[in-house]
Structure 1
Amino acid sequence: MRKSPLSLSLCLGLALGAAAGLAPAAGSAADGGTITLGRSSDGDRYDPHRSSALAAAEVLYMVGDTLVTLGYDLQTLHPGLAKSWELSDDGLTYTFHLRDDVTYCDGRKFTAKDVVGTMDRWLKPDAPNVSTWKAGNVDSITAADDFTVVYKLQEPNSALLYQMAQFNFVMIDPEQAEALGEDFGVTAFNGTGPYCFESWQPRESVVLRRHEGYTWGPEFMSNQGPAKAETVIWKIVPEEATLAASITAGEVDASYSVPSWSLAQFEADPTTALLRPEASFRTHYLGMKITRPNMQDRKVREAVSLAIDQSAIADAIFFGTAEPATAYYSQKALDYNPEIDQSPFGYDPERAAALLAEAGWAKGADGVLEKGGEKLTLTLYGFNNSSSREAAEAVQSDLRKIGVDLALELYDNTAIWGKLREQTYDLYQMDYPYLNAGDALNLYFLSANVPSPNRMMWEDPTTDKLIEDGNKATNGDARHAAYAEAGKVVHDALLWKPLVNESLVVVAGARLKPFQPHGISGAGFNNGLTLELK
Structure 2
Amino acid sequence: MKQFTLAAALALTAGIAHAQQDTITLGMVLEPPNLDPTAGAAAAIDEVVYANIFEGLTRFGPDGAVLPALAHSWDVSEDGTVYTFQLNEGVTFHDGTTMDADDVVFSLDRARAEDTTNAQKALFAGIENVEAVDPLTVRVTLAEPNGNLPFNLAWGDAVIVAPESIEQAATAPVGTGPFVFAEWLQGDRVTLTRNPDYWGEAPALAQATFKFIADPNAAFAAMMAGDVDAFPNFPAPETLAQFEADSRFKVIVGSTEGETILAMNNAEPPLDDIRLRKAIAHAINRQDIINGAMFGFGTPIGTHFAPHNPDYIDLTGLSEHDPEAAKALLAEVGEVRPLRLMLPPPSYARRGGEIIAAQLRSVGIETEISNLEWAQWLEQVFSGKDFDLTIVSHTEPADINIYARPDYYFQYDNPEFQALIAELGVTADPAKRSELNQAAQEMIARDYVNGYLFQLAKTGVADARIEGLWENAPTQANDLTAVRWVE
TM-score, normalised via structure 1 length: 0.84
Does structure 1 residue 428 correspond to structure 2 residue 395? no
Does structure 1 residue 440 correspond to structure 2 residue 377? no
Q: Is the 8 A contact 2:193 2:206 kept in 1?
A: yes
**Equivalent of 2:56 in 51, 66, 79:** 66
Partner of 1:342: 316
Partner-residue secondary structure (3-state), 1:520: coil
Aligned length: 469
- Aligned in 2, Cα 1:196/1:251: closer, same or farther, shift over 3 Å? same
Distance 2:234 2:301 in 1: 20
Partner of 2:248: 271
Partner of 1:414: 375
Please give the residue correspondences for 1:103-502 in structure 2 after superposition, counting only pairs within 5 Å: 103-177=92-166, 180=167, 184-216=168-200, 225-255=201-231, 256-276=233-253, 280-337=256-313, 341-359=315-333, 361=334, 370=335, 375-420=336-381, 421-435=383-397, 439-442=398-401, 444-447=402-405, 450=407, 454-502=408-456
Distance 2:361 2:409 in 1: 24
Structure 2 stretches of 5 or more lacking a match?
Answer: 1-15
Q: Is the 8 A contact 1:158 1:470 kept in 2?
A: no
- Aligned in 2, Cα 1:242/1:207: closer, same or farther, shift over 3 Å? same
Q: Displacement of 1:118 after TM fit? A: 1.0
Q: Is the 8 A contact 1:308 1:399 kept in 2?
A: yes
Q: Is the 8 A contact 2:101 2:132 kept in 1?
A: yes
Distance 1:158 1:483 in 2: 15
Q: Is the 8 A contact 1:383 1:389 kept in 2?
A: yes
Partner-residue secondary structure (3-state), 1:494: coil
Partner amino acid, structure 2, of 1:200: W
CA RMSD of aligned residues (A): 2.0
Q: Displacement of 1:126 after TM fit? A: 1.9
TM-score, normalised via structure 2 length: 0.91
Partner-residue secondary structure (3-state), 2:97: coil
- Aligned in 2, Cα 1:316/1:353: closer, same or farther, shift over 3 Å? same
Distance 1:241 1:156 in 2: 50
- Aligned in 2, Cα 1:124/1:347: closer, same or farther, shift over 3 Å? same
Distance 2:302 2:442 in 1: 13
Distance 1:29 1:91 in 2: 52
Distance 1:125 1:327 in 2: 31
Partner-residue secondary structure (3-state), 2:190: strand
Q: Displacement of 1:150 after TM fit? A: 0.3
Q: Displacement of 1:515 after TM fit? A: 4.3
Q: Displacement of 1:298 after TM fit? A: 1.0
Q: Displacement of 1:50 after TM fit? A: 1.0
- Aligned in 2, Cα 1:28/1:289: closer, same or farther, shift over 3 Å? farther
Distance 1:516 1:59 in 2: 14
Partner amino acid, structure 2, of 1:522: Q
Q: Is the 8 A contact 1:29 1:533 kept in 2?
A: no
Partner-residue secondary structure (3-state), 2:226: coil
- Aligned in 2, Cα 1:122/1:415: closer, same or farther, shift over 3 Å? same
Distance 1:163 1:110 in 2: 20
Partner of 1:95: 84
Distance 2:102 2:123 in 1: 20
Q: Displacement of 1:401 after TM fit? A: 0.9
- Aligned in 2, Cα 1:206/1:515: closer, same or farther, shift over 3 Å? closer
Partner amino acid, structure 1, of 2:75: E
Partner amino acid, structure 2, of 1:268: A
Partner amino acid, structure 1, of 2:395: P
Cα deviation, 1:494-533, whole Å, max 9, x if unaligned, reads: 011111112212211255346444523232x224432436
Partner amino acid, structure 1, of 2:226: G
Does structure 1 residue 526 correspond to structure 2 residue 479? yes
Distance 1:253 1:511 in 2: 10
